[in-house]
Structure formats: C-alpha cells, structure tokens
Amino acid sequence: MLRNGLEPWHLLILAVVFIALFGSKKLPEAARALGKSARILKSEAQAMKNDHLPAAEPTPTTPAAATMTEPPTAGI
C-alpha cells in the first residue's frame, strides 16, 4: 500500500488541499502560530531538562553574612 512513503506529488496534493481549505490569507497566520508554539515547547522542554541538573550551593545574599563565621554574642 504505502511502500515508498511520501513522494513529492503527495506533498503537492497536500499543499493544494490546505490552500483550498484555509485560504491563502490564513496560511501565514497559521504558520506563525505554529512557529510560536514550537518555540514555547522547546523552551519548556529545555527548562524541564535544566530542572533535573544538580543545583549549586546557595550563595549568601549579603556580604556581611558571607564573612560572618560565628553568631554575634549579646554583650554578656
């Protein structure tokens, strides 16, 4: 039945059907939306991949906290 897979004339027929169904004005909008969806999917997949990497040790937020090794004593 489908021994050779898709041949060039199959793609041509598909293109004609899409143009007939959606019109030539809607196709660029649909392609733009498909590209935007693909970019979002790619960035989300990359974020999921980065979530599984081991996290580095948290760095102190203030310079004073980085130099302080012992808690201060309250003038005893």
Tell me the whole-structure pTM to 2 decimals: 0.44
**61 and 67 in contact (C-beta within 8 Å)?**
no
Query: pLDDT tens, 26-38?
Result: 888 888 999 999 9
Query: pLDDT tens, 18-65?
Result: 888 888 888 888 889 999 999 999 999 999 888 876 655 556 566 555
pLDDT of residue 69: 61
pLDDT of residue 21: 85
